[in-house]
Structure 1
Amino acid sequence: MKILIVEDDNDLREITTRSLEKERYVVSQAPDYMTALRKIEDYDYDCILLDIMLPDGNGLDLLGELRALGKRTNVIILSAKDSLEDKVKGLDLGADDYLPKPYHLAELHARLKSLFRRNTREGEHTIRYGNIELVPDLFKVLIGGKEVELNRKEYDILSYFMLRPGRLVNKNTLAESVWGDHIDQVDNFDFIYAQIKNLRRHLKEAGATPELKAVYGIGYKFVIE
């Protein structure tokens, strides 16, 4: 999962980033309103952790910009400004949750997991497609009921497609979602091709019914023939 932290407190932003990365999230940062605005215009995120009081703007205005762009990104407001008015306004603008500062990182992790389960898996703790089952909280993959070992990026790629079965995914979008912002500036995508080749081999050897199909010149699609 790819997360953007919009927070002007450098220490809090770094601590939260390190904690999320330990949980295997892909994390990007924005220390102010304008940086955050450029990022939400250029990239897509699974969730934005949004501070209200920014040095050059109001986080609630950024939430409005996000919705104006037509992006349905999950948003959790993180703010010391714990007034009922701001909380209600944020939720009315489409925020999914509100966590006042100071917050415990364990609670933030729990809320993120709950949010993703609710919005992407209908509250289920596992993701299933064909004979593949993912247990995201444990980073476990089962194919035909048997556990299959994948490296971190192979797992992340599989998880991305398991949440989007049958959907054509552009290789640039895949790269940004699994490796992070600015990955589109690299010279080539050989590192992606290598990971996908290995993932395909693991799936085939384990007898997976879904296949990761290449669509020439565009990207990939995860389908059951």
Structure 2
Amino acid sequence: MKLLFVEDEPVLLQEMQLYFRSLNYTCEHAANFADAAEKVNSYVYDIVVLDITLPDGNGIDLIRDIRTQHLETGILILSARDSLQDKLNGLNMGADDYLTKPFYVEELNARINALYRRKVLKGSSKVVFDDFTIDPESKQLFFDQKALPLTRKEFELLVYFVVNKNRVLSKSSIAEHLWGDHVDQFDNFDTLYAHIKNLRKKLINVSGKDYVKSVYGMGYKFALE
């Protein structure tokens, strides 16, 4: 899962990032409106955790940009203001949930997971294709009810492929999903190729089917045979 935290309180931002990185989520952050606007216009996120009050703008104004470009991105608003009007404004602009400060990161995690299931997984707690079952909560893949070991990046890659099945995904969009804005440090896609090759081999070995199709000059597509 790829998260963007838009928060200007350094202590809270650090707490959230440490917690969710410990759960093996890809986490990015922005501490002001300008940086957040640049990120949401450049990258795709599964969930955006958005503070309303930013030093250089109103976080609610970012919701329009996110919704215009990424309908399936989940948006959870954070605010120190516990007023009905703030909630209504955010929800009416397209936010999916609202959490008032202070809060426990465990509650935020529960909200994010529920939002991910609702927005990205279309309400399912597990994702099934052929004889495979993906359990996003335990981050495990099962084939015919037996666990199939995957590395963290292989699991994230598989989920991204399955959620976007039958769509052609560019190499850059896949890399951005797996590594966030750190992808700018890569000189080439060799690391990505290695993860795709390993995932492909593991799926073929147990099922005899090649789900990951190379689309010449464009990228990859996950398709059921």
Give the TM interval when normalised to the shorter protein. over 0.9
| TM-score, reference length from structure 1 | 0.95
**C-alpha distance in 2 between matches for 1:159 and 1:122:** 13
Deviation at 1:154, TM superposition (A): 0.8
Structure 1: segments with no counterpart, 5+ residues:
none
In the alignment, residue 8 of structure 1 is paired with which amino acid?
D
Task: Give how far 1:177 is off.
Answer: 0.5
Q: What CA deviation, in whole Å up to 9, does each residue of 1:164-222 have, x standing for no partner?
A: 12111111000001111141452100000011111111111111545111112211111
Structure-1 separation of matches of 2:184 and 2:114: 30
Aligned to 1:91: 91
Residue matched to 2:181:
181
Inter-partner Cα distance in structure 1 for 2:6 and 2:69: 19
Q: Distance in 2 between matches of 1:208 and 1:180?
A: 32
Q: Is the 8 A contact 1:129 1:210 kept in 2?
A: no
Indicate the percent of aligned positions where both proteins have the same amino acid.
42
TM-score (norm 2): 0.95
RMSD: 1.4
Return the offset for 1:121: 2.5
Aligned to 1:71: 70
Residue 207 of structure 2 aligns to a residue whose secondary structure is coil
Alpha-carbon separation, structure 2, partners of 1:133 and 1:180: 26
1:188 match: secondary structure: coil
Corresponding residue number in structure 2 for 1:14: 14
Does residue 171 (structure 1) correspond to residue 201 (structure 2)? The answer is no
Q: Which amino acid in 2 is paired with 1:61? A: D
| Number of equivalent positions | 224
2:46 alignment counterpart: 46
Over residues 95-115 of structure 1, what are the superposed CA-to-partner deviations in whole Å (9 max), with x where a residue is unaligned? 000000001111111111111
Distance change in 2, residues 1:65/1:223 (3 Å) = closer
Corresponding residue for residue 197 of structure 2 = 197
